[in-house]
Amino acid sequence: DPGGWLTVAATPWIARCDGPVKHALDRYKYPVRYDGVDPLDHRAKAAEFLSDLDQAVSCGGAIIGERTSIADIAIFPFVRQFAQYDRDWFDAQGWTALCRWLDGHLDSPLFQAAMVRHPPWREGESAPVLVLG
């Protein structure tokens, strides 16, 4: 744990995001995949979590206090997906701390290194090698 990310307090945040929030996110982004789904109802359900998250990060800049934890790293991709689907709506919610937190993760060297786009590998080419740091 070189970044000091692991903490027991992260478990409830991650469980909530990986369960009900992921369920709502899928139905918000992809309503045609599910029968009888109103995407705006699911957006509202996820927005409750995002409001709680905004409150949490407004206290110290991270979900649990002042330092990035496994909760931030695990939950960030879900928030990114939610925000990207309708960034105008997301930005209009007044989640100032959450937007700052999201933008900080989007601009982080870790995210930038992880999201480098490489050309697709083709038969006959050398195997790709990823070098970090």
Task: Spell 29-62 as b/e; 16+ CB within 10 A means b.
Answer: bebeeeeeeebeebbebbbebbeebbebbeeebb
- Alpha-carbon distance of 4 to 39, in angstroms, equals 37
Q: If you average pLDDT over residues 2-22, what whole number do you get?
A: 88
Tell me the average pLDDT across 88-93.
Answer: 96
| 111 pLDDT higher than 80 | yes
Q: Rounded distance, CA 25 to CA 4, Å?
A: 29
Confidence of residue 44 (pLDDT cuts 50, 70, 90): very high
Does pTM surpass 0.85? no
Say which residue, 119 or 102, is predicted with more confidence: 102
- What percent of the chain stands above pLDDT 90? 71
Please state the rounded mean pLDDT for residues 76-84.
95
Q: Which residue has the higher pLDDT, 114 or 45?
A: 45
